[in-house]
Structure 1
């Protein structure tokens, strides 16, 4: 259980200790890995997806660009 003040998970979890960071990430449903030194690694894309911070290409639905002129003229 190594303490790191530069861990990318610290601002996200509010915890300094890697074991506490891992528990917080698990609770939030964020996947993470532990490095050999015990520090926690998270993927930014996964965090953004889980927290809804960024639209993903899978969530964007194609737009039907055909105009229904009959509805426009009515």
Structure 2
């Protein structure tokens, strides 16, 4: 099973910054949701990053499109 949240190294790679204040600004700019832990480190879900950056298909299903029964008009 992969980690639930990004590792500190992955967070640096994603944001291009080492300091948490700069990482927060970059994540906000990227419109990615994250939380600050009590120890000041950033927690961001791996699945959220994958979905937002198009690496993984969203778990939100699109509603099924309903179309009229055109064959019923020919009867």
* TM-score > 0.5, shorter chain as reference: yes
Deviations for 1:49-69, whole angstroms, at most 9, x for unmatched residues?
11111112435787xxxxxxx
Which ranges of 4 or more aligned residues in structure 1 deviate by more than 3 Å?
A: 59-62
Residue 37 (structure 1) aligns with: 39
Residue 51 (structure 2) aligns with: 49
Aligned length: 57
* Alignment of structure 1 residues 1-74 onto 2, 5 Å: 6-59=8-61
RMSD (Å), alpha carbons:
1.9
Relative to the length of structure 1, the TM-score reads 0.65
Separation (CA, whole Å) in 2 of partners of 1:35 and 1:22: 12
